[in-house]
Amino acid sequence: MAQFNLPKNSQVTEGKSWPAPEGARNLQVFRIYRWNPDDGKNPRIDTYRVDRDDCGPMVLDALLWIKNKVDPTLVFRRSCREGICGSCAMNIEGQNALACTMGIDECRTPDNALPFLTRKDKDGAVRIYPLPHMPVLKDLVPDLTNFYAQHAAIEPWLQTETPSPEKEWKQTPEDRARLDGLYECILCACCTTSCPSYWWNGDKFLGPAALLQAYRWLIDSRDENTGERLDALHDPFRLYRCHTIMNCANTCPKNLNPAKAIAEIKKMMVERAV
């Protein structure tokens, strides 16, 4: 039987439980993953009690409320607050999502949804962790260095051989419409970090987000390097580790379908081989 040794300081412990704000009547409990690489201690789960009457409706509002009024040491990424930048991607109640577009009232886990939860986790608390299977820099901030490097590897820019036009590369409305459902990707990494194939082969498999971006350039009518792009993807791991589990499509906060894009790339591979 295989045995797995956890790395040093990998055992999550119970952290600090912060008191409820004085006079608050409408409370929501949050249990949040905390880890500081500088103190040498184990990760922990801190418990916070948020006054819903003094807080906005989104999970990001609650995190900002905690940081501003309870615990300024809490670390997380955020920027646009409009579901555009992808900065605040994290694991909320067991699913990858954007904290700025996930409502607190949406974070309700049925008792039978995750049977391994402890009684304390089933007390109505909202559980927040960093994106899964990524190195953590601190608290809710994952290290996306490899993720961005894989995106850069598909060369996400227009590549042409013919001389550039005086003004712009033109495209018909029909050709432009083919990019719908692809260009909207905000590189939040929700899909990639929900993919089991990426969990086990993240060093070789490009992952759903990078491959969706690759398909966006493969079918762009203005791009003239389709063959070279397909050559770069023709690899047992870069493309073919996708097993169409569909986690990527289920978790995408922009309702995109990376699995379909990957299937279309595989189809293009077959078509050029026959």
List, for residues 137-153, the tens digit of each pLDDT value. Answer: 999 999 999 999 999 99
| 264 phi and psi angles, rounded to 5 deg | -70, -35
Q: Give the three-state DSSP class for 220.
A: coil
The yes-or-no verdict on residue 224 having pLDDT over 90 is: yes
Cα 169 to Cα 164: distance, rounded to the nearest angstrom = 8
Question: Mean pLDDT throughout 116-120?
Answer: 45
Neighbours of 202 (CB within 10 A): 19
Give the pLDDT score at 109: 58
Q: Whole-prediction pTM value?
A: 0.89
Identify the pLDDT of residue 108.
67
Work out the end-to-end distance of the chain between its first and last CA atoms, rounded to an integer number of angstroms: 45
Contact yes or no for 129/91 (Cβ under 8 A): yes
Q: What is the pLDDT of residue 6?
A: 58
**Can you tell me the mean pLDDT for 223-245?**
95
CA 6 to chain centre: 24
Distances (CA, A) of 206 to 71, 96, 213, 241, 258: 37, 18, 11, 9, 12
Nearest-angstrom CA–CA distance, 219 and 162: 17
- What phi and psi values does residue 70 have, to the nearest 5 degrees? -125, -60
The pLDDT tens digits of the residues spanning 15-32 come to 999 999 998 899 999 999
Average pLDDT of span 229-246: 94
Confidence of residue 10 (pLDDT cuts 50, 70, 90): confident
**Has residue 246 got a pLDDT over 70?**
yes
Q: Spell out a b/e string for 112-148, using b for 16 or more CB atoms within 10 Å of the CB, else e.
A: eeeeeeeeeeeeebbbbbbbeebebbbbbbbebeebe
Separation between Cα atoms, residue 188 and residue 83, nearest integer Å: 9
Beta strands in the chain (DSSP E): 13-17, 27-34, 44-51, 89-92, 95-98, 126-129, 136-138, 141-142
Mean pLDDT over residues 63-85, rounded? 96
Show the domains of the chain with their CATH numbers: 13-141 (3.10.20.30), 143-273 (1.10.1060.10)
The dihedrals phi and psi of 251, each to the nearest 5 degrees, come to -100, -15
d(CA 218, CA 239): 14
Distance, CA of 192 to CA of 18 (rounded, Å) = 33
What's the pLDDT at 8? 66
